[in-house]
Amino acid sequence: MNINGTPWRTIGLEEGGRSVWVIDQTLLPHRFETRSLTSVEDAAAAISTMVVRGAPLIGVTGAYGLMLALQANPSDGALAAAFEQLNATRPTAVNLRWALERVRELVVPLPEAERADAARTEAGAIAEEDVAMCEAIGEHGLSLFQQLAAARPAARQGEPLNVLTHCNAGWLATVDWGTALAPIYKAHRAGLAIHVWVDETRPRNQGASLTAFELGKEGVPHTVIVDNAGGHLMQHGLVDAVIVGTDRTTRRGDVCNKIGTYLKALAAFDNGVPFYVALPSSTIDWSLDDGVAEIPIEARSELEVTHIQGRISAGPAVGEIASVQLTPDGSVGFNPAFDVTPARLVTALITERGVAAATEDGLRGLYPGR
Ligand code: MRU
């Protein structure tokens, strides 16, 4: 996708494949900088501190992290330790474990001298597949949006389609295109008038900082709203559809996504607004059924709740990125990072293979044999 007219991806190789560059998402939208990851420790720290984030991107970063580990030490012991270190960084998004297992299974039977190169090739393949899957999600979602736009009453034809999204499920969360934002980019490029309501997404504000950044760079009309505004907008007919991503989807179609997604789904259900979830198949955990009971929910630092980061807008430190305290000294915070939206609240799942009902039959229809 584009930043000031230049196409970018979120991750790539440098130094002839000896290290990996990523965009430092903790500085966005105020500063655009890349960082080099030269060791498995760097990769693990980048994932846990959310320099990189978003389910597909942390999977690809994990795969490259195994490559970095194997470049330093290709032994079985080092591979096992690196796998555990990377897998422990973030527990909810299943893409991380999926990508790590994929690289591990490939390299384990190989001679040690061949492992790092094989891991590099496999991590690159995971990245390219992610781009292709996200672009296909974009095409399927575009068809849905075109149908929604055409089905509106005559008086509303020509008005922008109003789509609400939560968190950041755009190209920054993947390698390119994004999941929930891919259909929005496709629609915009196809000339369908579209406007996006961007949930700020407390506590880390991925909507206000990252989704708004992406949409702005692509020229997509958008408005940032506080997380609590969505229900009100839906009651007043100002939302035609909700579309979000997911960090883990169970086989029956329960979706785990950024905290607050469930409340949007409830409001959408109450107001008859379609609620779509966009996902590549790397996000489906076929071993799980009941998302509320079975998906591990990451609890992050209370500091993300009690403090907030932004750019200083006045005074001697103007322009600097800083963190400020919101709460009284002594108040504690609790920070569950994800919640689960039950399948019954999901209108449809948009995958790289097409659109499915959020049911086990719906998913198995697209992925027979799973
Ligand atoms: O905590 P984050 O920023 O990694 O959470 C990301 C999300 O919840 C995204 O919406 C998600 O990964 C789904 S699709 C890219």
| CATH architecture of the domain covering 140-366 | 3-Layer(aba) Sandwich (3.40)
Ligand 1 atom closest to the CA of 55, numbered from 1: 12
In 88-181, alpha helices (H): 94-107, 112-150
**CA 259: distance to chain centroid?**
13
How many CB atoms are located within 10 Å of the residue 18 CB? 14
Count Cβ atoms within 10 A of the Cβ of residue 166 and give its class: 0-12 exposed, 13-18 middle, 19 or more buried: buried
Consecutive 10-residue runs of the chain (370 residues): their mean pLDDT? Answer: 90 96 98 97 98 98 98 98 98 97 98 98 98 98 97 93 98 98 98 98 98 96 98 98 98 98 98 98 97 98 97 96 97 98 98 98 95
Q: Max alpha carbon distance in the chain (Å)?
A: 67
pLDDT for residue 91: 96
- The rounded Å distance from CA 144 to ligand 1 centre is 22
pLDDT for residue 95: 96
Ligand 1: residues with CB < 6 A are: 53-56, 93, 167, 169, 173-174, 179, 206, 245-247, 257-258, 337
pLDDT for residue 4: 87
- The rounded Å distance from CA 58 to ligand 1 centre is 10
Residues 151, 231 contacting (CB under 8 angstroms) = no
Where are the CATH 3.40.50.10470 domain residues in the chain? 140-366
Give kind and range of the element (H or E) at residue 277. strand 275-278
Q: pTM of the full predicted structure? A: 0.97
pLDDT for residue 117: 98
pLDDT for residue 148: 97
Residues 92, 247 contacting (CB under 8 angstroms) = yes
CATH class of 2-128: mainly alpha
Where are the CATH 1.20.120.420 domain residues in the chain? 2-128
Residue 301 to residues 306, 334, 341, Cα–Cα distance (Å): 9, 8, 23
Instruction: Specify whether 247 is catalytic.
Output: yes
Q: Which listed residue (247, 254, 285, 339) is catalytic?
A: 247
Count Cβ atoms within 10 A of the Cβ of residue 109 and give its class: 0-12 exposed, 13-18 middle, 19 or more buried: exposed
